[in-house]
Amino acid sequence: MTPDPTRIEDLATPALLLDEAKMTRNIERLAARARALGVSLRPHLKTAKCTEIARRLGGGMPGPITVSTLAEAEVFHAAGHDDILYAVGIAPQKLARVQALREGGCDLTVILDSPEQAKAVVEARVPALIEIDSDGHRGGRRAEDPALIEIGRILHGTECLRGVMTHAGESYGVRGEAAHAAFAERERCAVVAAAEALRRDGLPCPVVSVGSTPTAHAARDLTGVTDLRAGVYMFFDLVMAGIEVCKTEDIALSVLTTVIGHQRDKGWVMIDAGWMAMSRDRGTAAQDVDQGYGLVCDVEGRVLDDLIVGSANQEHGIVSLRPGADAALPDLPIGTRLRILPNHACATAAQHDRYHLLPAADGALKVWHRFGGW
Amino acid sequence: MTPDPTRIEDLATPALLLDEAKMTRNIERLAARARALGVSLRPHLKTAKCTEIARRLGGGMPGPITVSTLAEAEVFHAAGHDDILYAVGIAPQKLARVQALREGGCDLTVILDSPEQAKAVVEARVPALIEIDSDGHRGGRRAEDPALIEIGRILHGTECLRGVMTHAGESYGVRGEAAHAAFAERERCAVVAAAEALRRDGLPCPVVSVGSTPTAHAARDLTGVTDLRAGVYMFFDLVMAGIEVCKTEDIALSVLTTVIGHQRDKGWVMIDAGWMAMSRDRGTAAQDVDQGYGLVCDVEGRVLDDLIVGSANQEHGIVSLRPGADAALPDLPIGTRLRILPNHACATAAQHDRYHLLPAADGALKVWHRFGGW
Question: Between B14, B263, B334, which is nearest A92 by CB?
Answer: B334
Question: CA dist B150 to B33, B115, B154, B197, B246, Å?
Answer: 35, 7, 6, 11, 41
B contact test, residue of A138, A270, A309, A356 with most B CBs within 10 A: A138
Contact B131/B89 with Cβ under 8 angstroms? Answer: yes
Nearest to B330 by CA among B310, B303, B311: B303
Asked if A279's CB is within 8 angstroms of B314's CB, the reply is no
Give how far A210 is from chain B: nearest CA, Å.
17
Asked if B335's CB is within 8 angstroms of A353's CB, the reply is no
Q: How far apart are CA A241 and CA A350, in angstroms?
A: 20
> What residues of chain B lie within 8 A of the CB of A282, using their CB?
280, 282
Nearest to B63 by CA among B32, B33, B107, B110: B107
Give how far A345 is from chain B: nearest CA, Å.
12
Span B316-325, average pLDDT:
95
Instruction: Select A21-234's CATH number: 3.20.20.10, 3.40.50.720, 2.40.10.10, 3.90.330.10.
Output: 3.20.20.10
Whole-number pLDDT of residue B361? 67
Whole-number pLDDT of residue B13? 98
Question: Between A12, A88, A346, which is nearest B316 by CB?
Answer: A88
Asked if B68's CB is within 8 angstroms of A315's CB, the reply is yes
Question: Between A1, A91, A372, which is nearest B353 by CB?
Answer: A372
Question: Between A69, A138, A261, which is nearest B313 by CB?
Answer: A138
> What residues of chain A lie within 8 A of the CB of B4, using their CB?
none
The fourth-level CATH superfamily of domain B20-234 is Alanine racemase (3.20.20.10)
Question: CA dist A108 to A63, A89, A253, Å?
Answer: 13, 13, 29
ipTM above 0.85, yes or no: yes
Give how far A342 is from chain B: nearest CA, Å.
14
Question: Between B88, B270, B272, which is nearest A316 by CB?
Answer: B88
Asked if A69's CB is within 8 angstroms of B1's CB, the reply is no
Calculate what percentage of chain B has a pLDDT beyond 90. Answer: 93
User: What values do phi and psi take at A357, rounded to 5?
Assistant: -85, 135
Asked if A2's CB is within 8 angstroms of B261's CB, the reply is no
Asked if A374's CB is within 8 angstroms of B13's CB, the reply is yes
Q: How far apart are CA B93 and CA B11, in angstroms?
A: 42
Give how far B15 is from chain A: nearest CA, Å.
8
Nearest to A207 by CA among A28, A83, A328, A119: A83
Nearest to A195 by CA among A211, A207, A186: A207
Helices A70-78 & A95-103 angle (0-180, nearest 10) = 10
Task: Locate the chain A residue with the closest alpha carbon to B334.
Answer: A91
User: Span B248-369: which CATH code?
Assistant: 2.40.37.20
Give how far B358 is from chain A: nearest CA, Å.
20
Q: How far apart are CA B295 and CA B240, in angstroms?
A: 13
pLDDT at B2 over 70: no
Asked if A276's CB is within 8 angstroms of B280's CB, the reply is no
- Per domain, the residue ranges of chain A are 21-234, 248-369
Q: How far apart are CA B351 and CA B163, in angstroms?
A: 35
Q: What is the DSSP string of A196-257?
A: HHHHHTT----EEEE--HHHHHH-S--TT--EE--SGGGT--HHHHHTTSS-GGG--EEEEE
Per-residue pLDDT of chain A (374 residues; tens, 9 = 90+): 455 566 787 899 999 999 999 999 999 999 999 999 999 999 999 999 999 999 999 989 999 999 999 999 999 999 999 999 999 999 999 999 999 999 999 999 999 999 999 999 999 999 999 999 999 989 999 999 999 999 999 999 899 999 999 999 999 999 999 999 999 999 999 999 999 999 999 999 999 999 999 999 999 999 999 999 999 999 999 999 999 999 999 999 999 999 999 999 999 999 999 999 999 999 999 999 999 999 999 999 999 989 999 999 999 999 999 998 988 999 999 999 999 999 999 999 999 999 999 976 676 789 999 999 99
Question: Between A114, A316, A335, which is nearest B334 by CB?
Answer: A114
Q: How far apart are CA B281 and CA A229, in angstroms?
A: 28
> What residues of chain B lie within 8 A of the CB of A372, using their CB?
276, 351, 353
Tens of pLDDT, residue by residue over B29-43, are 999 999 999 999 999
Q: Given its phi and psi angles, is residue A105 left (phi above 0), alpha (psi -120 to 50 degrees) or beta?
A: left
Question: CA dist A24 to A103, A107, A250, B182, Å?
Answer: 34, 27, 10, 55
Question: Average pLDDT, whole number, for chain B?
Answer: 96
Question: Is A360 in a helix, a strand, or coil?
Answer: coil
Asked if A97's CB is within 8 angstroms of B12's CB, the reply is yes
Contact B6/B363 with Cβ under 8 angstroms? Answer: yes
Tens of pLDDT, residue by residue over B141-177, are 999 999 999 999 999 989 999 999 999 999 999 999 9
Position B1 confidence tier, pLDDT thresholds 50, 70, 90: very low
Position B305 confidence tier, pLDDT thresholds 50, 70, 90: confident
Question: Between A93, A260, A280, which is nearest B258 by CB?
Answer: A93
Contact B339/B235 with Cβ under 8 angstroms? Answer: no
Whole-number pLDDT of residue A5? 63
Tens of pLDDT, residue by residue over B242-296, are 999 999 999 999 999 999 999 999 999 999 999 999 999 999 999 999 999 999 9
Q: How far apart are CA A4 and CA B110, in angstroms?
A: 24
Position B5 confidence tier, pLDDT thresholds 50, 70, 90: low
Contact A51/A74 with Cβ under 8 angstroms? Answer: no
Sheet holding B83-86, edge to edge: B40-41, B227-228, B207-210, B161-165, B128-131, B107-112, B83-86, B65-67
Q: How far apart are CA B54 and CA A297, in angstroms?
A: 37
Asked if A280's CB is within 8 angstroms of B280's CB, the reply is yes
